Structure 1
């Protein structure tokens, strides 16, 4: 009987040892056995931080979003420079002197000129000397070329070119000089006329009469 009890106790002890060994193995077994990964638990704060760290280009645009209006200021426009209005010309009716068809006398005629200053006034007066609107009156300066004209201190300085076809006889030369002085001396501010030929003082305009330098109201009577 005693032997039987001892055998039972030995068997029970052996079973306890076997069960204890199995418990140790199960406790030391890796938790990730079988390749199954336990999900990580992330708090709300950590999720927000991770989301904010995502690159901007990964965001998907909302197709329904309206484009934001850009407040662009209109281009600045520089004011255009003011343009001075053109100076108005004055008008005047003057006496211009020509000769008759036989070149025996000087004849006055009326002419209208327009000008904005004195220089243009005398230039227009000389141009009127160069053409006649009357077939009975002949211009003595029509073939002359006016190169320049200026007015200073009461004196007109004229520079002309005399082509060969502008040559006149003694009577024509005398009438031409008289026509010039009578036309220009009608302006009270003109005191003298200096007549140059191609920029030089010459003794005679056409070789018949002396050309004074300058011609004045007194020596042109």
Structure 2
């Protein structure tokens, strides 16, 4: 019995060290890569004087969705309507997730801040999201739970998504930050 507990603890510590190392390696390489199709996010708190649209903005599609942030104490989710913009239909999901990384005000916590969305691909009603987690983006158990809830609630607004597979740096992991068990895939309730 003690041997099993010791083995479980050793595996957990090893996994946590591995996840921490993966996030640090990604941070060194963030200066490279194609950043030409960065998702645009616009909240309802927009200014009355809107700029003239450029031809590129005219080709952008927009979808109104609900996004979720942590409250100022990090204890519960706070819902907010927002509009996400994207060029291609398959960019809709990464744009929606990117909206979770920018809090509209200081009373809300952006749960995806410091988390890079590498890809979000829908295939056979399953959205596979590959992320990279910077060391400073790691949270405690409560924050990790809110992050998972926010991702699920945001993505399951789209009726075409029946399950959500979350990868970290292309790998299936047991937990995003070492606190909450991660189902593979997460199914719509």
Same fold? TM cut 0.5? yes
2:75 maps to: 104
Cα RMSD over matched residues? 1.6
Cα deviation, residue 214, structure 1 = 0.4
- The CA distance in 2 between the partners of 1:115 and 1:162, in whole Å, is 23
2:162 maps to: 191
Larger proportion of strand: 2
Q: Which residue among 76, 92, 100 is the counterpart of 2:63? A: 92
> Higher relative contact order by CA 8 Å / sep ≥ 6: 1 or 2?
2
Cα deviation, residue 101, structure 1 = 1.0
Q: Which residue among 141, 144, 158 is the counterpart of 1:170? A: 141
SS in 1 for 2:161: coil
2:40 maps to: none
Q: Structure 2 matches for 1:78-89, cutoff 5 A?
A: 88-89=59-60
Q: Which residue among 67, 85, 89 is the counterpart of 1:114? A: 85
Corresponding residue pairs, total: 134
Cα deviation, residue 154, structure 1 = 1.1
Cα deviation, residue 150, structure 1 = 1.2
- The CA distance in 2 between the partners of 1:123 and 1:145, in whole Å, is 10
TM-score of the two chains, using structure 2 as the length reference: 0.67
Are 2:109 and 1:138 equivalent residues in the alignment?
yes
Cα contact 1:101–1:137 (8 A) shared by 2: yes
2:172 maps to: 201
SS in 1 for 2:131: strand
- The CA distance in 2 between the partners of 1:105 and 1:162, in whole Å, is 21
Consecutive unaligned residues in structure 2, runs of 5 or more: 1-54
**CA displacement 1:139-190 (0-9 Å, x = unmatched):** 1111101112211111111111112111101111101000000001011111
- The CA distance in 1 between the partners of 2:105 and 2:92, in whole Å, is 22
Q: Which residue among 114, 120, 126 is the counterpart of 2:97? A: 126
SS in 1 for 2:176: coil
- The CA distance in 1 between the partners of 2:160 and 2:139, in whole Å, is 30
Cα deviation, residue 88, structure 1 = 2.7
**CA displacement 1:187-215 (0-9 Å, x = unmatched):** 11111111001111000111111001001
Consecutive unaligned residues in structure 1, runs of 5 or more: 1-84
